[in-house]
C-alpha cells in the first residue's frame, strides 16, 4: 500500500512511537496514510488502541527488515 508520509520510530520505547505517530498525523491531511516503523513490541498493541481512541483508521501491521510497519489513515478531526 502506498503512503503519504513516514515516521521512523525504530529503537524508541513506549510511549514514543505513538507520540511520534500522533505528530506525524497532524502534518498530513485527513484521508492520507502515515507509515510508522517501530521495533518496540508494545507498539503492536499501542498503535491500534491509539487509532481507535483518536479517530484514525488503523490499516494493519506487517514486518519488514526486523521492524513493524504500521499503516494509519488519518481521520477527520
pLDDT tens digit string along 19-28?
Answer: 999 999 999 9
Find the domain containing 40 and state its range.
5-73
The domain that holds 11 is classified in CATH as 3.30.110.40
| pTM summary value | 0.96
Give the integer Cα–Cα distance in Å for 68 and 55.
21
Give the integer Cα–Cα distance in Å for 66 and 5.
20
The residues carrying an active-site annotation are 14
pLDDT at res. 1: 80
Give the integer Cα–Cα distance in Å for 12 and 43.
10
Mean pLDDT, the chain, integer = 97
Number of domains in the chain: 1
Amino acid at each position: 500500500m502506498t503512503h503519504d508520509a513516514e515516521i521512523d520510530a525504530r529503537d524508541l520505547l513506549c510511549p514514543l512511537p505513538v507520540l511520534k505517530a500522533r505528530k506525524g498525523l497532524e502534518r498530513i491531511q485527513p484521508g492520507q496514510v502515515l507509515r510508522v516503523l517501530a521495533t518496540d513490541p508494545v507498539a503492536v498493541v499501542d498503535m491500534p488502541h491509539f487509532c481507535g481512541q483518536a479517530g484514525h483508521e488503523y490499516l494493519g501491521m506487517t514486518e519488514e527488515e526486523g521492524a513493524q510497519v504500521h499503516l494509519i489513515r488519518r481521520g477527520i478531526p
